[in-house]
Amino acid sequence: MRIKWLKISIVDRYLRREIFQSFLTALVFLSFIFLMFQILKLAEYLIEHGVAVSQFIEMIGYILMSFLPLGLPVAFLIGVLSAFARMSADSEVVALKSTGYGITRLSLPVFSLSALVVLGSLFVNLSLVPWAETSKRRLLLKLGNSRFTQMIREGTFSTGLENVLVYAEKSNPENGRMERVFLYDERDPARPLAIVAKNGEIIRVVNPAGDSEGMLLQLQQGTVFDSEVNSSSTRRILFEVYQMWLDLAGSIAELTVKPTMFTFQELLEARKTDRKFDVELWRRVATAISPIFFVLIAMGFGITRTRTHRASVMLISLLILAVFWQLQVASIQWANKSTFSPGLWLSIPNFAVLFAGFWSFRRASW
C-alpha cells in the first residue's frame, strides 16, 4: 500500500513526540551544565554582595536566555540523534521500512519540527537575547551600586573597590552616607592619594532614561595628601568637596555595550557604518537556521552509527558540534577581514554540515 507523503500519520506524530522529548531533555541538561559554570559568580552575587533571592532568580533567567541561541541548535541535534539511535537499536526503523516508510519519508516530520525550532531560534537571537543582555547589564549596574554601599562597613577597611582602600568610622548602607572617612587611592601608582574627610556619601548616577550609570563618591571637608613616588614629594590640599568616580572592579567588560545587546532594527542601522554589526547580524541568522541543516546528518549518523552503541550519541554530537563551531569561529574572523558579504562566510558551517549530512543520509538509506 502506497503511503501518502503529505498525509500526517500516527508515525509522524510518534516520531515528533520522540524527538521533542529528547530535545527538551537535552535542553534542560545543557542548561544545567551551563549554569554549573556560572555558579561561582552567581554565588558571589548572592552571598558576598547580599543580593535578594528575587534578583538572583532574575539573573539566572537572563543567563539562561543568553544561552538559548547556542542551546536550541545543540539540543535539537542531540534530540534527533537520540531518537533515531533508540529507534534503530529497538529495530523500529526496520519495522517502519517494512510498512512502506523509507528514511526519506521519515525525514519529513523531522524537517517540519526543525522549522519550528528555527522560528524559535530566530525570535530568540533577534529579539529575546538583546533584551536579556540589556536587562542583565542594567541589573548588574544596580547590583554594583548596592554592592558599593553594602561593602563599606563601619570600623572596617574595605578593599572591594579597584585599588582603593576605604575606612569609615560610621556608615549607613541604606543611604550611602559616611562619617570620618579615610581613603587611600593607588589607581595611579606614580601618584597615590591619601584622603581624610569629615563626611562622605555615595551618589547613584543615572542617565535620562533612569538607568544607573555608576557611582560617585563625594567627600566633604577634608584633606588630600598627594604623593609623587619618583620625587618623594608630598602636597597637602584642603577641600570642601571632593568627588571620585567609582568603577565596578573586575566587571567593566560585562557592563560595556556589546553587539549582542543590539536589536534587529539597531543592527540593520549599525551595519551601514560598521562591518562588525553586519557580521553579528549574519552570525545570529546562521546560528538560528542551523537546526534545519542538522536534520540529515543527525538522521544519518543516528541510524548507521548507533545501531548497537547508543552511548555514542553524545560523542557523535560533540564531534559534529566541535567541527561546526570551529568553522563558525573561523568564518567570523574571515568575514571581519574580507570585503565579501558576511552572509557568504557565515554560511560555510551550515553548508559543510549539509554536505556531510547528504553523505551520512545516503549511507543510512536502503
pLDDT digits 0-9 by tens, 180-190: 888 888 878 77
Domain total of the chain: 2
Looking at the fold, whether 202 and 264 belong to one and the same domain comes out as: no
Under 8 Å between Cβ of 19 and 83: yes
Residues in Cβ contact with 65 at an 8 Å cutoff, skipping those fewer than 6 apart = 124, 128, 129, 132
Amino acid, res. 76:
F
Non-local (6+) Cβ contacts of 215 within 8 A are 144, 145, 148, 202, 203, 204, 205, 245, 246
User: Within this chain, do residues 37 and 112 fall inside the same structural domain, yes or no?
Assistant: yes
- State the residue range of the domain holding 37: 10-145+256-364
Burial degree of 349 (CB within 10 A; 0-12, 13-18, 19+): buried
| 38, 86: one domain | yes
Residue 115 confidence (pLDDT): 94
Per-residue pLDDT tens, the chain, 366 aa: give them.
444 445 567 888 888 999 999 999 999 999 998 888 887 777 766 665 566 777 788 888 888 998 999 999 999 999 998 888 888 877 888 888 887 778 888 888 899 999 999 999 999 999 999 999 888 877 776 666 555 556 677 777 776 666 778 888 887 766 778 888 888 888 787 788 888 989 888 776 665 555 555 677 788 888 888 877 677 777 888 888 888 776 554 444 445 567 888 888 888 888 888 888 888 899 999 999 999 999 988 888 888 644 445 556 777 788 888 889 899 889 988 888 888 888 889 999 999 999 988 888 887 755
Angle of helix 312-337 versus helix 290-304 axis, rounded to 10? 150
Query: How many other CB atoms sit within 10 Å of the CB of residue 226?
Result: 14
Question: In angstroms, rounded to a whole number, what is the distance separating the alpha carbons of residues 23 and 38?
Answer: 23
Residue 295: Cβ within 10 Å count: 22
CB 153 within 8 A of CB 167: no
> What is the reported pLDDT for 151?
64
Look at residue 156 and tell me if it is in a domain. Answer: no
In a domain, 2, yes or no: no
93, 227: one domain: no
Same domain, 235 and 352: no
Q: pLDDT value at position 116?
A: 94
Same domain, 24 and 117: yes
Residue 254: predicted pLDDT: 47
Do 139 and 16 lie in one domain? The reply is yes
In terms of Cα–Cα distance, which of 10, 4, 14 is closest to 90? Answer: 14
For residue 178, is it within any domain? yes
Quick one: 312 and 205 in the same domain?
no
- State the pLDDT at residue 123: 94
Helix pair 348-364, 103-123: axis angle to 10 deg: 160
Please name the residue that has the C-alpha cell 568637596.
Answer: 241
The answer on 14 and 137 residing in a single domain is yes
* 210 Cβ contact list (under 8 Å, min separation 6): none
Q: Among 286, 276, 190, which Cα is nearest to 232's?
A: 190
Q: Round to whole Å and give the CA distance between 264 and 285.
A: 10
- Report if residue 4 sits inside a domain: no
**151 lies in some domain:** no
C-alpha–C-alpha distance, residues 25 and 73, integer Å: 13
Query: Whole-angstrom Cα distance, residue 156 to residue 355?
Result: 64
Residue 270 contacts by C-beta under 8 Å, 6 or more apart in sequence?
262, 277
Residue 154 placed within a domain: no
167 and 308 in a single domain? The answer is: no
How do residues 115-160 score in pLDDT, each as one tens digit?
A: 999 999 999 999 999 999 888 877 776 666 555 556 677 777 776 6
Residue 5 lies in a domain: no
Looking at the fold, whether 326 and 187 belong to one and the same domain comes out as no
Is residue 264 domain-shared with residue 357, that is, in the same domain? yes
Q: What is the pLDDT of residue 307?
A: 45
Residue where a domain stops, chosen among 246, 269, 293: 246
0.75 exceeded by the pTM?
no
Q: Tell me, what DSSP letter sits at residue 14?
A: H
Helices (H), the chain: 10-43, 53-89, 92-98, 103-123, 129-151, 252-255, 264-270, 275-288, 290-304, 312-337, 342-346, 348-364
Cβ proximity of 289 and 350 under 8 Å: yes
> Is residue 356 within 8 Å of residue 299, measured between CB atoms?
no
Q: What is the DSSP string of 303-356?
A: HHT-SS-TTHHHHHHHHHHHHHHHHHHHHHHHHHH-SS-HHHHHTHHHHHHHHH
Final residue of a domain: which of 204, 227, 246? 246
Residue after which a domain boundary falls, among 246, 268, 297? 246
